[in-house]
């Protein structure tokens, strides 16, 4: 059964109005393999996953899943195909248990039975790494736990084919390791697992094969030994596009002599955490790392004025007054020239009912008011075009709703919104979540150019490889506080990992580094 074909697409095409999401897509997956689907944002990956799942119908071509044609999601469910889509789909007002078994007994019918509770407790403890209250409403849980609930719901169906569309995007390093262990378990049981992801290290670690899409066309398929960053990037990227190499810039030395544009003193991220200090030097890119829940998320939000810390204060340099000014609110941060970019675009970024233009330009509306308080939208068109071109955002009409874009292109719009504000400090909270490798490199380039012009950057990421050759310093959080600062040759996988797990600089790391590669 190992080499048996479970999914086969031949010459599949799909259009949405004038937009051709898929032009000529061929694909084949085998039983018992982990097969990655790779491509830049807007290349058609999610469209292909939805066609396999019965959510969309192809305009032409043939699709076979486990020997059958799929017309609806019900068909997919019946034959054993389960899909975890890019957005974290949970019912916030329902309990964890209800979310896990929704659709199994009808719409939120009582999920009684000790067997189910035991099964749910076991799988969540295995995936999350700790017990989860099954009766708690999901709305109060962090994004990463919501993602685990979606994954657990899919695994509980014991699928023959599992499609994961950017399902690790909300997970940190330690959580991704547990997800890979679950994928290995499904593979051993003979399931076919398809992964749509932009995390190159994840592909190298877990995929048996990888199929690359570009502009809706299948470019080719790589075997496991061929899956490298170089091969993937060359196949994903058009020949006439010069992708930025994050390692082309040498990290700057950010010693005590560099003036601080943001100064954090005695900050406390939660009631049980110790206070700490932090300085952001002018012209520097400071990476922020840590396992989920170690305080780094609260830290960047406090710097951006989104939340108030339990203690301490944040100050930012004001060029108009030539002195430090306290940041006590989002309004203070905005006035001081701090722009914030969230990786959780659904909850904190996009306005789903508004157009692409409005989503990008809304941050500068106040700066473009006419004499009667009317927004001068015509005057914003050059800015809009500049940011679309700068970040290579793939759009149709600017008047289309932002939800018409792929998830990665939605994220680019949020990044463009931040640049449009012409800030002095940009705070990024895992901004590359769901963003392809080429776009990441474009972002690195723009942030480097931003710092060369005097801007400063705080860049939180759940992916260690983003920091290497890019960040000037990496501040690692552990137990709610800044645990260690790394610079120069210490910005490498092993020292960062050691600090993330609370290890001293010379301590051995008590886990297999290859599992995180």
Distance, in Å, from the CA atom of 227 to the CA atom of 217, rounded to the nearest integer, reads 19
Last residue of a domain, one of 407, 422, 437: 422
Structure-token pair, residue 52: 């396999």
Integer distance in angstroms from the first to the last C-alpha of the chain? 29
**Burial of residue 108 (number of CB atoms within 10 Å: 0-12, 13-18, 19+):** middle
Q: Is 206 within 8 Å of 193 (Cβ atoms)?
A: no
pLDDT of residue 263: 94
**Distance from chain centroid for Cα 64:** 30
Q: Give dist(CA 30, CA 193) in Å, integer.
A: 9
Could you give the maximum distance between any two Cα atoms of the chain, in Å?
72
Q: What is the pLDDT along the chain (517 residues), one digit of tens a residue?
A: 456 889 999 999 998 877 788 998 999 999 999 999 988 777 888 899 999 999 999 999 999 999 898 888 888 989 999 998 877 788 888 999 999 988 766 444 445 567 889 999 999 999 988 889 999 999 888 878 888 899 999 999 899 999 998 776 667 677 888 888 999 999 999 999 999 877 777 788 889 999 999 888 999 999 999 988 788 878 877 655 444 454 444 555 554 556 899 999 999 998 888 999 999 999 999 999 988 778 999 999 999 999 999 999 999 988 777 789 899 888 888 888 899 988 777 777 778 888 888 888 887 777 766 665 667 677 788 888 888 888 888 888 888 888 888 777 888 888 888 888 888 999 999 887 767 677 788 888 889 999 999 999 999 998 888 898 899 999 999 989 999 999 998 998 888 888 888 876 655 444 443 433 3
Please report the DSSP string for 103-162 in residue order. Answer: TTSSTT-----HHHHHHHHHHHHHHHSS---TTSBGGGS-HHHHHHHHHHHHHTT--SEE
Q: Are residues 216 and 189 in the same domain?
A: yes
The answer to the question of residue 158 being in a domain is yes
Are 319 and 352 in the same domain? no
Residue 452: phi and psi, rounded to 5, are -65, -25
Same domain, 140 and 95: yes
Can you tell me the distance from the alpha carbon of 284 to that of 289, in angstroms, rounded to the nearest whole number?
16
Q: Which of 236, 269, 286 is the last residue of a domain?
A: 236
Could you give the angle at which helices 114-128 and 143-155 cross, rounded to 10 degrees? 130
Asked whether residue 412 falls in the same domain as residue 357, the answer is: yes
Residue 241: inside a domain:
no
CA-CA distance, 410 to 169, in Å (whole number)?
15
Q: What pLDDT, on a 0 to 100 scale, did the predictor assign at position 20?
A: 83
Residue 237: strand, helix, or coil:
coil
Residue 169 falls inside a structural domain = yes
Is the residue at 117 inside a domain?
yes
pLDDT attached to residue 228: 85
Residue 276 is predicted with a pLDDT of 95
Nearest-Å Rg of the Cα atoms of the chain is 23
Q: How big is the chain, counted in residues?
A: 517
CATH of the domain at 279: 3.40.50.300
For helices 377-391 and 437-452, what crossing angle results, to 10°? 110
Q: CA separation (Å) from 113 to 10, 118, 121, 179?
A: 45, 9, 13, 27
My answer on whether 356 and 387 are in the same domain is yes
Q: Both 174 and 60 in a single domain? A: yes
**Same domain? 433 vs 329:** yes
Residue 484 domain flag = yes
Same domain membership, residue 330 and residue 286 = yes
pTM score of the predicted model: 0.64
Residues spanned by the domain of 225: 5-236
- Both 418 and 444 in a single domain? no
User: How remote is the C-alpha of 517 from its chain's centroid?
Assistant: 18
Name residue 314's beta-bridge partners. Answer: 264
User: Residues 296, 410: one domain?
Assistant: no
How far is the C-alpha of 429 from the C-alpha of 410, rounded, in Å? 15
Residue 170 domain-assigned?
yes
Considering the domain boundaries, does residue 266 fall inside one?
yes
Q: Is residue 483 part of a domain?
A: yes
The total of structural domains in the chain comes to 3
- Same domain? For 357 and 445 the reply is no
Based on the fold, state whether residues 293 and 411 are members of the same structural domain.
Answer: no
Residue that terminates a domain, selected from 181, 204, 236: 236
User: Which among 235, 236, 311 is positioned nearest to 270, based on CA atoms?
Assistant: 311
């Amino acid at each position: 059964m190992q080499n048996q074909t479970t999914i086969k697409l031949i010459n599949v095409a799909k259009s949405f109005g004038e937009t051709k999401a898929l032009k000529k897509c061929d694909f084949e997956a085998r039983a018992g393999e982990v097969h990655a689907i790779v491509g830049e944002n807007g290349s058609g990956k999610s469209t292909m996953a939805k066609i396999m799942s019965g959510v969309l119908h192809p305009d032409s071509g043939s699709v076979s899943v486990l020997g059958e044609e799929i017309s609806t999601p019900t068909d997919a469910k019946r034959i054993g195909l389960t899909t975890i889509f890019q957005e974290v789909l949970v019912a916030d007002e329902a309990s964890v248990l209800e979310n896990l078994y929704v659709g199994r007994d009808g719409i939120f019918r009582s999920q009684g039975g000790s067997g189910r509770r035991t099964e749910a407790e076991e799988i969540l403890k295995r995936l999350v790494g700790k017990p989860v209250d099954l009766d708690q409403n999901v709305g109060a849980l962090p994004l990463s736990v919501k993602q685990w609930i979606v994954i657990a719901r899919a695994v509980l169906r014991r699928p023959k084919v599992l499609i994961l569309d950017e399902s690790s995007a909300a997970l940190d390093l330690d959580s991704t390791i547990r997800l890979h262990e679950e994928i290995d378990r499904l593979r051993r049981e003979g399931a076919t697992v398809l992964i749509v992801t932009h995390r190159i290290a994840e592909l190298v670690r877990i995929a048996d094969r990888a199929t690359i899409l570009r502009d809706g066309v299948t470019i080719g398929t790589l075997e496991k030994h061929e899956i490298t960053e170089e091969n993937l990037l060359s196949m994903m990227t058009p020949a006439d596009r010069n992708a930025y190499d994050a390692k082309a810039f040498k990290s700057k030395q950010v010693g005590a002599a560099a003036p601080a544009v943001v100064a954090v003193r005695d900050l406390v991220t939660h009631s049980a955490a110790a206070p700490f200090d932090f300085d952001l030097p002018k012209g520097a890119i400071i990476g922020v790392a840590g396992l989920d829940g170690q305080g780094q998320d609260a830290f960047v939000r406090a710097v951006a004025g989104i939340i108030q810390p339990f203690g301490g204060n944040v100050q930012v340099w004001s060029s108009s007054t030539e002195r430090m000014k306290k940041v006590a609110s989002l309004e203070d941060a905005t006035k001081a020239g701090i722009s914030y970019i969230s990786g959780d675009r659904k909850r904190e970024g996009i306005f789903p009912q508004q157009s692409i233009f409005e989503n990008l330009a809304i941050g500068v509306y106040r700066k473009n008011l006419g004499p009667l308080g009317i927004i001068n939208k015509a005057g914003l068109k050059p800015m809009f075009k500049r940011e679309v071109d700068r970040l290579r955002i793939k759009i149709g009409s600017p008047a289309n709703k932002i939800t018409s874009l792929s998830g990665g292109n939605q994220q680019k719009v949020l990044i463009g919104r931040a640049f449009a504000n012409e800030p002095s400090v940009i705070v990024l909270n895992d901004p590359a979540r769901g963003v392809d490798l080429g776009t990441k490199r474009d972002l690195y380039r723009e942030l480097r150019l931003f710092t060369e012009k005097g801007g400063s950057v705080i860049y939180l990421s759940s992916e260690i490889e983003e920091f290497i050759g890019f960040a000037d310093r990496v501040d690692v959080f552990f137990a709610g506080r800044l645990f260690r600062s790394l610079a120069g040759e210490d910005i490498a996988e092993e020292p960062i990992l050691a600090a993330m797990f609370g290890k001293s600089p010379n301590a051995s790391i008590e886990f297999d580094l290859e599992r995180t590669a």
